[in-house]
């Protein structure tokens, strides 16, 4: 049975959260090993959890090298720093995304160039890329939004013609696949997040993946304050403290041992939501493309009829019925630090109409039914 029994049995109405990590595997045992050893901070070597986690996660994704970081935002920023993307550079990013994909470009003193998204996936629209490329463009960052892969083949083709790096933002896409290859192994570089609500978590944490050994050595140098590994306290380059602790890596390794189980649960939740909500008039759903296998990190709906009013009513109904929710991300161009010229009709529409539903792996079937009943009660009025 993929769904655990409802632990709130007997209560009239329990709160349904967006997400909650399952830490019932080897997490406690591995953390205790760290505590007993005394190595609780960052450390490397054959017996460190940092090294093991980097090796096993990169192997799982199909990449040669992994570089753990203190969070997913740092992972993206580390890639830009190691590639020398900075003042005078432009990086193409989707307009609809968690904001780290955009803000990290500004952290690097480069210019984010926003592109509208595809209506069916919510990810960057490859058909709108070439018009945004200039002689200053250095990279394209496709974001696998809510766990569904971006359409990477046309993006890679455009990048190849223009000598651009493809940096997968796979923060939400652990275990997702594009044409049989796992997210994080397809572009030139990839960034992951292990925040508490992700498919696997270290509390906070991130990972950079790449097959380029020279890039990896440079990125590791920058991650560790720019200090030479064989010459302690000698800093030939400007670096940062982007390191992951051994305790966090221990949790991550234990989580990774059960990632396939978590994926199966998430995908079942997604299928059941679709079965419950597909017949409901007044909303639209997102469907997995035939070339993709989504991680189903979060499940989204679009409210089509009188969307602003109905969305407000649904939010109030969720609150009344103790159901958590999130808005679909706001378009980057609509927020003060990132405003720019241009039109982004698809990202505007998805943000206006969209709501994100709970996808905790602890959801019971009765929880899903309750959520669906609340949606029906509002949108059918």
Judged against a pLDDT cut of 60, whether residue 6 lies above it is answered with: no
With cut-offs at 50, 70 and 90, classify the pLDDT of residue 308.
confident
10: region left, alpha or beta (phi > 0 left; psi from -120 to 50 alpha)? left
Within 10 Å of residue 316's Cβ, how many Cβ atoms?
11
Span 210-234, mean pLDDT?
Answer: 97
Q: For residue 78, what are its two tokens?
A: 């580390």
DSSP secondary structure letters along 174-201: TT-EETTEETTSSSSEEEEE-BTTSSS-
Across all residues in the chain, what is the average pLDDT? 95
For residues 258-282, average pLDDT = 97
pLDDT value, residue 342: 93
How many percent of the chain have pLDDT more than 70?
Answer: 97
- Helix, strand and coil content of the chain, in percent to the nearest 5, comes to 40, 15, 45
Structure tokens at 176: 């997702």
Q: Is residue 250's pLDDT more than 70? A: yes
Q: Nearest-CA neighbor of 206 among 111, 72, 56?
A: 72
The reported pLDDT for the residue numbered 381 is 66
* Confidence (pLDDT) at 224: 97
Phi, psi of 288 (to 5 degrees): -70, 130
Q: Which pLDDT score, from 0 to 100, does residue 302 have?
A: 97
pTM equals 0.95
Give me the pLDDT at residue 47, please. 85
- What pLDDT is attached to residue 8? 38
Question: Could you tell me the pLDDT band of residue 11, with boundaries at 50, 70 and 90?
Answer: low
What are the residues facing 165 on neighbouring strands?
Answer: 139
Range(s) of the chain covered by CATH 3.40.640.10 = 27-256
Question: Is pLDDT of 5 > 80?
Answer: no
Q: What is the pLDDT of residue 46?
A: 83
Q: Give residue-wise pLDDT tens across range 28-56.
A: 999 999 999 999 999 999 889 999 999 99
What mean pLDDT is predicted for residues 160-180? 98
Question: Where does the pLDDT of residue 350 fall: very low under 50, low under 70, confident under 90, or very high at 90 and above?
Answer: very high
Q: What is the DSSP string of 157-180?
A: HHHHHTT-EEEEE-TT-TT-EETT
At 13 the pLDDT is 84
Give me the phi and psi of 298, to 5 degrees please: -135, 155
> Model confidence at 71, in pLDDT bands (50, 70, 90)?
very high
Q: Say what angle helices 246-256 and 259-277 make with each other, to 10 degrees.
A: 60
| 12, pLDDT greater than 90 | no
* CA–CA distances in Å: residue 348 to residues 148, 262, 353: 19, 32, 9
pLDDT in tens, 298-307: 999 999 977 7
Q: Which two tokens stand for residue 276?
A: 């419950």
Question: CA geometry: angle at 255 spanning 252 and 259, to 5°?
Answer: 125
Mean pLDDT across 65-76:
98
Quick one: average pLDDT of 354-370? Answer: 97
* In the predicted structure, residue 112 carries a pLDDT above the cut 90: yes
- Rounded to whole angstroms, the maximal C-alpha distance in the chain is 70
Instruction: Count Cα atoms within 13 angstroms, Cβ side, for 224.
Output: 20
pLDDT mean over 183-197: 98
* Length of the chain (residues): 381
- pLDDT of 3 higher than 50: no
Spatial CB neighbours of 10, under 8 Å, sequence gap ≥ 6:
none
Q: What are phi and psi of 190, to 5 degrees?
A: -145, 150
Q: Which two three-digit tokens encode residue 254?
A: 């234990």
Q: CATH 3.90.1150.10: which residues of the chain? A: 259-379
Mean pLDDT value across residues 324-328: 97
With respect to CATH, is domain 259-379 assigned 3.90.1150.10? Answer: yes
Fold observed for domain 27-256? 3.40.640
Is residue 97 over pLDDT 90? Answer: yes
What strand order describes the sheet that includes 299-303? 283-285, 299-303, 354-357, 326-327
| Overall average pLDDT of the 113-119 stretch | 98
From CA 357, how far away is CA 322, in angstroms rounded? 12
Residue 182 has pLDDT above 90, yes or no: yes
The mean pLDDT value for 246-260 works out to 98
pLDDT above 50: residue 7 = no
Q: How far is CA 57 from the centre of its chain?
A: 15
Judge whether residue 355 has pLDDT over 50.
yes
H or E stretch covering 143: none
DSSP classification of residue 112:
E
Q: For helices 365-379 and 307-320, what crossing angle results, to 10°? A: 140
Of the chain, the percentage scoring pLDDT greater than 90 comes to 94
**How would residue 380 be classed by pLDDT, with cut points 50, 70 and 90?**
confident
């Amino acid at each position: 049975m993929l769904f655990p029994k409802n632990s709130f049995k007997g209560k009239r109405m329990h709160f349904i959260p967006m997400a909650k990590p399952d830490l019932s595997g080897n997490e406690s045992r591995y953390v205790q090993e760290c505590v007993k050893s005394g190595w609780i901070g960052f450390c490397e070597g054959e017996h460190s959890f940092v090294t093991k986690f980097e090796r096993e996660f990169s192997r799982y994704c199909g990449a040669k090298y992994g570089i753990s970081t203190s969070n997913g935002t740092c992972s993206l920023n580390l890639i830009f720093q190691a590639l020398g993307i900075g003042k005078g550079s432009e990086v193409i990013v989707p307009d609809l995304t968690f904001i780290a994909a955009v803000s990290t470009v500004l952290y690097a003193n480069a210019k984010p160039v926003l592109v509208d998204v595809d209506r069916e996936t919510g990810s960057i629209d490859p058909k709108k890329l070439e018009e945004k490329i200039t002689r200053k463009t250095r990279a394209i960052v496709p974001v696998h939004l809510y766990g569904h892969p971006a359409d990477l083949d046309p993006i890679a083709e455009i990048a190849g013609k223009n000598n651009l790096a493809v940096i997968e933002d796979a923060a939400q896409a652990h275990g997702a696949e594009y044409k049989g290859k796992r997210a994080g192994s397809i572009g030139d570089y990839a960034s992951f997040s292990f925040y508490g609500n992700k498919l696997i978590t270290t509390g906070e944490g991130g990972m950079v993946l790449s097959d380029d050994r020279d890039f990896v050595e440079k990125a590791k140098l920058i991650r560790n304050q720019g200090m030479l590994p064989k010459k302690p306290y000698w800093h030939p380059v400007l670096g940062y403290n982007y390191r992951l602790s051994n305790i966090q890596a221990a949790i991550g390794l234990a989580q990774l041992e059960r990632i396939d189980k978590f994926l199966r649960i998430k995908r079942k939740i997604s299928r059941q939501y679709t079965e419950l909500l597909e017949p409901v008039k007044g909303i639209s759903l997102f469907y997995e493309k035939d070339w993709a296998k989504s991680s189903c990190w979060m499940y989204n709906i679009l409210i089509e009829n009188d969307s602003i009013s109905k969305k407000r009513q649904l939010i109030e109904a969720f609150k009344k019925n103790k159901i958590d929710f999130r808005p679909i991300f706001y378009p980057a161009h609509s927020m003060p630090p990132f405003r720019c010229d241009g039109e982004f009709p698809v990202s505007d529409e998805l943000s206006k109409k969209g709501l994100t539903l709970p996808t905790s792996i602890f959801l019971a079937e009765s929880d899903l039914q309750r959520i669906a009943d609340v949606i029906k009660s509002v949108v059918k009025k």
